[in-house]
Amino acid sequence: MTTAPPTATDGVPPAPAPTPTGGVWAALRPLVLRLHFYAGVLVAPFLLVAALTGLLYAASFQAEKIVYDHELTVPVGDRELPVSRQVAAARQAHPEGTVAAVRPSPEAGATTRVMLSGVPGVDPDRTLAVFVDPYTAQVRGALEQYGSTGALPLRTWIDEFHRDLHLGETGRLYSELAASWLWVITGGGLVLWFSRRRARRRVRGTGGRRRTLGLHGGVGAWAAAGFLFLSATGLTWSAYAGATIGELRAALGQETPSVSAAAGGEHAGHDAAGGTGGDAVHGVGPDRVLAAARAEGLGDPVEIVPPADAGSAYVVRQVQRSWPEKQDAVAVDPATGEVTDVLRFADHPVLAKLTRWGIDLHTGNLFGLANQIALMALALALILLILWGYRMWWQRGRGSAFGRPVPRGAWQQVPPYVLVPLLAVIAVLGYFVPLLGIPLAAFLAVDVVLGEIAHRRGRRTHGSGTTAT
């Protein structure tokens, strides 16, 4: 985000860097600048893809409402039919598979979703959502659905594109790499930007590289908090760093609990709730089960999960991810219609709540349209910052060489009492966030090799010149 002293021409060894006179920061600043430069140049393509696909994903919520309007909405009628009758209509139209869950119409004019699992031709980790008019029991259509937010094909495709580029587990490495480095690049840029004198941060009335630098730094400073948040929350469900975070939460007793679907109740551990087998009508049926959940204060939107087997209960859970979040859940005995277990979101551990809120804010669910607009603005800001960054790289080399790099050897000026603890912190971070640590080690190795090559070339050039004279 800042200018740096010019490098020597190729083949001539650079002059020794002057000893810093401004304290620790004067010694650290060239190191931060070089790290920011290298990370920006090499990691920016991954960040650019993440920003572009994230922009599309933030817009997909509203696009989904338009594309699937016929399936999602119906004219408002006088009275909603019983849930069991709506399920029967869905099963008559689609007898294949089994009922995995039912989401009754959450508001006037919205359809009921009957989710079927084990349907031939549907991916095993998805369901076939059958959309039913709650007033007439007419089936409006059926679409594949993915995830707890009920993503339909358009949003699912964009979500997977953003998460793994449709390359499966291998593709997830790209998004984790981007999330692992976004906070480093942002933090380094902030430090560099605010370390500059105020007069040098002006944009108006400037031109060339200085103007590009002003735009890059100014926009980056305003958007930094959002980038740090996206980086932190993106890592919570990444492949490697996410597993470490999960282990840490488990060790601290901060896992997300779930209501017990066993007949005896008692809260279960993480991901222990409900089942996905059988049909929707067991014992008392979904209507009495829903009434029991309503009596416990579970308002719309809710999802009814049928018992997995003869020894299991119905599970009814709230699925509202917008603010205020509704995440309460109850288990209902299919034989008596009595509630056997209740789990309130208010009783979740602190880290479980923070994780839930962080993920929902990251994915544009927590504050609805305002949240999605903010995410699109952040994505656009990141795209502009990357383009300005590459432009500065090009402008830096004009008149000599394209993309002239920042001078190496900055670490040699850092006092040992600062450098040693800094390396220790980096090593620990690299262990817990491997897609930060491994590329950083690669950067350092390449930098050392390039420095040695330049040093040897400089010695040969200097030696031949001496002989000639």
**Average pLDDT of the residues in 84-111:** 97
User: With pLDDT > 70 as the criterion, what percentage of the chain qualifies?
Assistant: 83
Q: So what's the pLDDT on residue 3?
A: 40
How far is 393 from 188, CA to CA, in rounded Å? 17
Is 241 within 8 Å of 182 (Cβ atoms)? Answer: no
Q: So what's the pLDDT on residue 205?
A: 57
Band (12; pLDDT cuts 50, 70, 90)? very low
Band (194; pLDDT cuts 50, 70, 90)? confident
Please tell me the least confidently modeled range out of 20-29, 233-242, 370-379: 20-29
Give the domain ranges of the chain.
Answer: 24-59+166-245+369-468, 69-151, 257-348
- Per the listing, tokens 């696009």 go with 63
Q: What is the pLDDT of residues 243-287, one digit of tens each?
A: 989 999 999 999 999 999 886 555 555 444 444 445 666 789 999
Q: CATH for 69-151? A: 3.10.450
Q: What is the pLDDT of residues 198-254, one digit of tens each?
A: 556 566 656 688 889 889 999 999 999 999 999 999 999 898 999 989 999 999 999
Q: So what's the pLDDT on residue 410?
A: 64
Question: Of 24 and 387, which is predicted with more confidence?
Answer: 387
Q: Mean pLDDT over all residues of the chain?
A: 85
Q: So what's the pLDDT on residue 468?
A: 40
Please tell me the least confidently modeled range out of 42-46, 54-58, 243-247, 445-449: 445-449
Question: Of 322 and 413, which is predicted with more confidence?
Answer: 322
Q: What are phi and psi of 453, to 5 degrees?
A: -60, -45
Band (393; pLDDT cuts 50, 70, 90)? confident
pLDDT over 50 at 130, yes or no:
yes
- Per the listing, tokens 């670490």 go with 411
Is 193 within 8 Å of 452 (Cβ atoms)? Answer: no
How far is 438 from 184, CA to CA, in rounded Å? 14
**41 closest CA partner among 252, 193, 185:** 185
- First-to-final CA distance of the chain: 44
